[in-house]
Structure formats: C-alpha cells, structure tokens
Amino acid sequence: MTVSVFIVSLLAAMAIGMPIAYALLVSGVALMGFLSATSGLVTFDSQIIAQRFVDGADNFPLLAVPFFLLAGEFMNAGGLSRRIVNLAMAWVGHYRGGLGYVTVIAAVIMASLSGSAVADTAALAALLIPMMRAAGYNVGRASGLIASGGIIAPVIPPSIGLIIFGVAGNVSITKLFLAGIVPGVLMGLAIGLTWWWVAKKENVRPAPSIPTADRLRITGEGTLALVLPVLIIGGMKFGVFTPTEAAVVAAVYSFAVGKFVYGELKWSALYGLTLAAGKTTAVVMFLVAAAMVSAWLITVANIPTEVANMMSPFMDNKILLMFVMMVLIVVVGTALDFTPTVLILTPVLMPVVLKAGIDPVYFGIMFIMNNAIGLITPPVGTVLNVVCGVAKISMDDAFKGVLPFLVAQLVVLFLLVLFPAIVTVPLHWWMR
C-alpha cells in the first residue's frame, strides 16, 4: 500500500503540471501523512520535512556540481570546445562521412571535460549542424548522431550524473568516475561504427585533406583542452584531489586557458556565464534536496524491502536481476528526465542491489548509462529536444535520425549486463 501511495501521489502531482521537484515533496508529504495515520512509524511534522530538505542539499560532494557546470561554461565561451572540434576535423574530416566521425571524437573528448549531456549537445549542435547542413548531410540523421554523442557525457568522468548517484546511493564518486571510462568509450565506438554503416547512404563530398603542417598546428592549439581530462583522471587516480576538488581545478583551468592563453574569454562575459551555471545548479540542488525528503520516507516506509520481495524470483541470478532492473529503468527513463529518475529510483533499487551481492559501482555505471539513453527517447528526451531546437527540425525527424544510434547504445548496455567484467576489471586496474 505504501508503494501505491508514493507512486500515485507522485504521478498525480506531475499530471497536473507540477514541477518534478515539487511533485517529489508532495509525494513525501503524502507518504508521511499515510504512515502517521496507519502505522505510526513517523509523526507528521512539517519541521521534519524542512530539516530533511536542507540536509539533502548540505552535502560536500555536491559542491562539484556548480564547479563542473562553471567549467563547461568557461570551455564553451573560452574556445576550448571549438578547438576540440577543429582538432577532430583536421584528422578525420576528409574521410567519407568525415563530419560524423568528427562528431563522435569531439563528443567523447568534450564528455571528458564538462559532464553535462545538455551542455555538450548544445555546443556540438551549434558548431556542427550548420557545417553538416552546408555539406549536404541529412540533417535529421546528423542531429541524431549529435544527440547520441551528447549522452556520453553522463558516463565518462567528470559526470554530474555520477556525482548525484554517488551522493544518493552512498557510493564512492572516485570509483564511479574511474569505472565510467571504458563504458563511455564503448558508447563512442558503438555510435562510430553505426555512423560508418549509415554514412553509406550519405551522398556528400568529403572535405579536402589539409596539409600535415596545418594538422600539427591545429593539434597544438587543442592540446591544452586535451590536458584537462588527463589532469582530472590522473589527479583522482593518484589521490592528488577528490572529485569535488577536481571540479574546482577544472573550473580554474578552463578559465585560465580561455582567458589568458586563447584570449577569447572576456571579463564582461563572466557575470553571464556564472549566472547561467548558478541557475542550472539551483535546479539540480533543489531536485536533490526534494528527493532526499522522499528518499528518507521511502526508507522509513520500508519500500525497498517490498521491492526486493517483488524481485525475489530473480535474486539468485545476478544477470537476470540486472536485466529486469535495466528494463524497469528504460521504461521509467522514457517518461522522466535524467536527474529525477536517478533520485527517485536510487534509494529504491540500491538495497536490492546490495542484497543480491551486485557491485554498487558497477550498478551505478549501468544505471547512469541507462538514464543517459533515456535523454534521447521520446516523449521527454531532453537532449533530443535540444538538438531539435538548434537544428530547427521536428521531433519525428530527430527520432528517426537517432534510432540506429539508440539501438547501438542499447546493445552496449545489455552487453555490459551480460559481461560485468568489462566494467569491473578496468576499475580494479585503475584503483591499483
């Protein structure tokens, strides 16, 4: 009954158009009222709601969120993102379907810089869609490729999604970051291979090859941008700084390079960039705080135990259990945005994962990858909507374009379900 109260109140609040953060608070209040009236497990008290709300946001690892968002703003305004695209263009742009390969390479590199799917997709779309349209590429297919490349960002470190999951599930963020490297690269390889297949239908002339001297010059200009992911991953691996400190390093580094090396980041732009990062941070933090209220009441109501009992037939088979949970997350991810899905399902599924003996870091990577795929599935499809807005195409055209790449990402997801060692073995190597 408690599960029904939580789900019905949450869906009802969303159905009347209430923002998801407020819907989470409503479902928390409804659950508290139900428990107070029926079981006495908790006394209805608005002060407890307020206290849990504040405690939800009062978490040191969450400080990484605003700094990584600020780093992303600095990279786009300071010219780092553009130089990454230029670097990829110099080396693979002259091949058949070359702009598609540029998209894939740039998406993987930019994912290792910002950690935000929406920011990466917007930057890539603004830079590449006009070029691909002018070159005669199918715009719907090009938009689908860019969208599928953008969702690599929540998987490869530094990932804001992994930070939120780590806080909500009490899992090491450093381990999550290191474990996300191989799956993120596999996602890039999957869409690269898919583009090789679909690019055969593109009747476009490849860009002219540029001289080696120009390639080396462009590579030199982009080297400072490539240093950042090495700095972040290396710093965490060798214990130089925590993920939160890495976020500060990323923000300072991207500001310094954009301002003092490339000279494209203007003092006059700082206020607007900081304000944009602050607004996005406020949305994320309010969601996290509201979700922590519901998470606490979910625990008090013993909902995870009820869910575990429902999944008890699959408990003896970890692969089958993971498959069932992945299907559940895929379904939920089509209806909810990324962050709410993570915040709602993490406290429900983590006890099941621990009871079944599944590595929580491995589950976290799979969970975040699954949620990232939800960003390119209608009806919500936040990343798909971003691409539609930049390319000025319909959602139908964008979904037709993204479909082959969506299938490729799902294949990678379920490959990792069947072979968990693909995630866990590299993690153990990284942690040595």
Do the domain assignments include residue 148? yes
- Dihedral angle at the C-alpha atoms of 74, 167, 24, 10, nearest 10 degrees? 110
**What pLDDT, on a 0 to 100 scale, did the predictor assign at position 239?**
85
How far is Cα 223 from Cα 290, in angstroms, rounded to an integer? 41
Peptide bond into 379 cis (omega under 30): yes
Per-residue DSSP letter, 259: I
pLDDT, one tens digit per residue, over 318-333 is 999 999 999 999 888 8
| pLDDT given for residue 33 in this prediction | 86
Which are the contacts of 192, defined by CB distance < 8 A and separation ≥ 6? 101, 104
Distance between CA atoms of residues 341 and 415, nearest Å: 22
Query: In Å, how far from its chain's centre is CA 268?
Result: 30
Residue 57 to residue 143: CA distance in whole angstroms: 36
Cα distance between residue 131 and residue 2, in whole Å: 53
Question: Which residues of the chain are under the pLDDT cut of 50?
Answer: none
Residue 337 CB contacts under 8 Å (≥ 6 apart), including other chains? 20, 375, 380, 382
First to last CA, the chain: 46
Query: Which two structure tokens, joined as six digits, stand for 180?
Result: 């996300």
395-404 confidence digits (pLDDT tens): 899 999 999 9
- Please indicate, yes or no, if residue 14 is contained in any of the structural domains: no
| pTM listed for this prediction | 0.91
Instruction: Compute the distance between CA of residue 313 and CA of residue 371 in angstroms, rounded to an integer.
Output: 25
CA distance 83 to 75: 10
What span, in angstroms and rounded, lies between the C-alpha atoms of 296 and 28? 9
Instruction: For residue 203, give both structure tokens.
Output: 């009747």
The total number of structural domains in the chain stands at: 1
Predicted confidence at residue 194, as pLDDT, reads 97
Closest CA to 375 of 422, 343, 333: 333
Would residue 216 count as lying in a domain?
yes
Residue 26 in domain: no
For residue 40, is it within any domain?
no
Whether the Cβ atoms of residue 143 and residue 125 lie closer than 8 Å to each other: yes
Per-residue model confidence (pLDDT) at position 257 = 94
Domain extent, residue 270, equals: 45-430
Dihedral angle over CA of 86, 89, 90, 91, nearest 10:
130
- Please check whether residue 29 lies inside any domain of the structure: no
pLDDT at 148: 96
Peptide bond into 158 cis (omega under 30): yes
Say if 36 falls within a structural domain: no
pLDDT of residue 256: 95
In contact, 243 and 64? CB cutoff 8 Å: yes
pLDDT at position 165, please?
Answer: 96
Check residue 291 and give its pLDDT.
Answer: 86
What is the C-alpha to C-alpha distance for residues 46 and 365, in angstroms, rounded to an integer? 35
8 A C-beta contact, residue 191 and residue 409: yes
Q: What is the pLDDT of residue 38?
A: 80
Name the one residue in this structure whose structure tokens are 């998470």.
Answer: 295
**The pair of three-digit structure tokens given for residue 360, joined into one six-digit string:** 């929580």
What is the Cα Rg of the chain in Å?
Answer: 22
CA 280/CA 303 separation, integer angstroms: 31
Report yes or no on 33 lying in a domain.
no
